[in-house]
Amino acid sequence: GRMPAIMTLPLAPQGSDFRRLVWYLLCQIPYGQTTTYGDLAKQIEERTGKAMSAQAIGGAVGHNPISIIIPCHRVLGAHGRATGYAGGIDKKIALLHLEGVAVKA
């Protein structure tokens, strides 16, 4: 099995409350698992009571200032497609493959 984390990094990314909430949710996605922009929008709506679009989530994810530590590569588009990664889709797919996730471009 996977080794448990032996330390945690204190993070303080600078952004709006909305962006920080999205980044917090990104940190909750376990290693080797994924979610979608739409699912994150539903989680935000459940927490805030405000309807949210997948596009708004994508904007916040795209402004993630520390993209390996806050794992935005684990967020997929509709139908499990690898979309929208600032480092390039090829790198997003490679990171997911390292985690054992089969994903398509």
Tell me which of 3.20.20.140, 1.10.10.350, 2.70.70.10, 1.10.10.10 is the CATH number of domain 17-98.
Answer: 1.10.10.10
Question: pTM of the predicted model, to two decimals?
Answer: 0.87
Q: Kindly list the domain boundaries of the chain, sorted by start residue.
A: 17-98
In the set 54, 60, 61, 72, the catalytic residue is: 72
pLDDT tens, per residue, the chain with 105 residues: 555 555 577 888 899 999 999 999 999 999 999 999 999 999 999 999 999 999 999 999 999 999 889 999 999 998 888 888 878 899 999 999 999 999 877
Distance CA 69, CA 50 (A): 27
Task: Give the pLDDT confidence of 48-72 residue by residue, as tens digits.
Answer: 999 999 999 999 999 999 988 999 9
Please state, in angstroms and rounded to a whole number, the distance separating the CA atoms of residues 37 and 33: 14
Burial of 21: CB neighbours in 10 Å, binned 0-12, 13-18, 19+: middle
Tokens matching residue 89: 């889709």
Specify whether the CB–CB gap between 22 and 61 falls below 8 A: yes
Cα separation, 29 vs 72, whole angstroms: 9
The answer to whether 80 and 56 are in contact (CB under 8 A) is no
The verdict on whether 72 is a catalytic residue reads yes
